[in-house]
Amino acid sequence: MQTLTVSLGDRSYPIYIGKGLLADAQLLTNHLKSAQACIVTNETIAPLYLSQVQASLSGMHLSVVTLPDGESHKHWQTLNTVFDQMLADRHNRRTTLVALGGGVVGDMTGFAAACYQRGVNFIQVPTTLLSQVDSSVGGKTGINHPLGKNMVGAFHQPEAVVIDTAVLSTLPPREVSAGLAEVIKYGLLGDADFLAWLEDNMDALLALDDQALAYAIFKSCETKARIVAEDEREGGVRALLNLGHTFGHAIETQLGYGQWLHGEAVAAGMAIAAEVSAALGWITDADVARVRNLLVRAGLPVDAPAEMTVAQFITHMSVDKKVLSNRLRFVLLKSLGQAVVTEAVPLALLEKVLQASIARGLAASG
C-alpha cells in the first residue's frame, strides 16, 4: 500500500492506494467519528463490493442507499433519497457517509455530506479509474443542472480516500478508457515526463497491468493532491485541472448527461484545447498529433460530436464555472506539460477550430 496526504492543515487527509484494500477494515473504521455510518453506492457496484464494505462496518448503526447508476441520475431527486434514508434511520451529526462507487456516487455522497445537518464526515471509496485518479480527491462535490454540469455543489473534503486497484478488474473497457483521459490530463498540464511514460505504457494500462495502474494512479493523485493543497477552492492553479473540461462539459450538457462518458467528453475537449493552442501559435501541429494519437490509443474520441453546432458550444461554455465578468476562460497548452489559463482566444479563431472538429466528427460518423 502507498499513502499520499492532501495537506490542508487540520483538514488534511490520506489517500490509500493498493490492491485488496477493501478487505482492510481499519482503513475505514480509523476515520469514523461514531458508530454510525451510511454507505451510498449504486445498482452496478452494490452486487460486486457492498458486502465487503458492510463487513468492515459490521456491528455499527449502518444504513445503505443504493442509487440508480449513471450521470443522468445526478440530480436533486436522486440526492434526496440519501437524505430520506438518513433521516428515517436517525443519523446524527457524527455519522459518516461512505461513497462506494464512481464519480457520480462520490460527487453526490460528498454533496449530501456537505448538506446533511450542515456538514458531516465522509469517506471516498472510488471504484472507477476516473474517480480514483480525479474526482475522489480534492473535495469538489455536486450535482448537475439541465443548463450546466456540476453547477450546484460545495467544496467538502473527505476524511480519507481508499483506492483499491483490484476493483478495476470488473471495470468495462469503455470505463477504463474514460479514466485514462484524466490520467493523460495530468501529463499534459504539468508533467512532460509522465506524458512520455504514458505513451510508452498505454498498452499495459489498457491491459490493466497491476504495476502500470498503480504507478499511473499514484502519479495522478500526487499531482492533484499537490495542486489542491496549494489552491483548495480554485482561485488560481487548481483551474489547470480543468484542461479539456470547458469543451467537455459543453458536450455533456448538450447531448444529455451520460450519452458520452465524462472522460470521453474531456478527451475530445483536450484535443480541441490542443488545436486552439496550436492556432494561437503556442504548440506545433506535431504536438497536436501527439495528443490526438495518445487519446486514440487510449480508446477515446478526439473530435466534437457531429450533431453539435458551434453556437451550441458557445452557449454552454458561456455558463461554465470558469467564466468571469462574462469572459470565456480556457485552459490551454503553452507546451506539452505546461498548461495555462487564458482569456486571450479570439472568437473567430475559436469558432474556426470548433467547426473543423465538428466536421471531422461528422466525417467519422458517416
Give start and end residues of each alpha helix (H) in the chain.
26-29, 51-56, 76-88, 103-115, 129-130, 173-190, 192-206, 210-230, 245-255, 262-279, 285-297, 310-317, 347-365
Burial class of residue 347 in the structure, from the number of CB atoms within 10 Å of its CB (0-12 exposed, 13-18 middle, 19+ buried): exposed
User: Among residues 262, 292, 321, 329, which one is catalytic?
Assistant: 262
Asked if 175 is an active-site residue, the reply is no
User: Among residues 31, 156, 249, 316, which one is catalytic?
Assistant: 249
CB 264 within 8 A of CB 181: yes
Distance CA 154, CA 115 (A): 9
Asked if 91 is an active-site residue, the reply is no
Distance CA 54, CA 38 (A): 10
Backbone angles phi, psi at 280, to 5 degrees: -80, -5
Asked if 121 is an active-site residue, the reply is no
- What angle is formed at CA 209 by the lines to CA 265 and CA 206, rounded to 5 degrees? 30
Asked if 290 is an active-site residue, the reply is no
Distance CA 92, CA 243 (A): 39
Residue with the three cell numbers 465578468: 325
Which residues on adjacent β-strands are paired with residue 13? 6
90: left (phi over 0), alpha (psi -120 to 50) or beta: left
User: Among residues 156, 219, 224, 316, which one is catalytic?
Assistant: 224
Asked if 352 is an active-site residue, the reply is no
- What angle is formed at CA 210 by the lines to CA 206 and CA 213, rounded to 5 degrees? 55
User: Among residues 73, 219, 245, 290, which one is catalytic?
Assistant: 245
Asked if 238 is an active-site residue, the reply is yes
User: Among residues 31, 73, 74, 140, which one is catalytic?
Assistant: 140
User: Among residues 71, 234, 252, 264, which one is catalytic?
Assistant: 234
| Chain mean position to CA 239 | 14
Q: How far apart are the two ends of the chain, measured CA to CA in Å?
A: 47
- Identity (one letter) of the amino acid at 102? G
Asked if 245 is an active-site residue, the reply is yes
Which residues on adjacent β-strands are paired with residue 15? 4, 161
User: Among residues 175, 242, 316, 322, which one is catalytic?
Assistant: 242
Asked if 224 is an active-site residue, the reply is yes
Asked if 322 is an active-site residue, the reply is no
Cβ neighbours, 10 Å, residue 205: 21
Which residues on adjacent β-strands are paired with residue 153? 142
Distance CA 91, CA 96 (A): 9
User: Among residues 91, 149, 156, 238, which one is catalytic?
Assistant: 238
With a CB cutoff of 8 Å and minimum separation 6, the contacts of 215 are 197, 201
User: Among residues 182, 232, 264, 275, which one is catalytic?
Assistant: 182
Active site residues: 118, 140, 182, 224, 234, 238, 242, 245, 249, 262
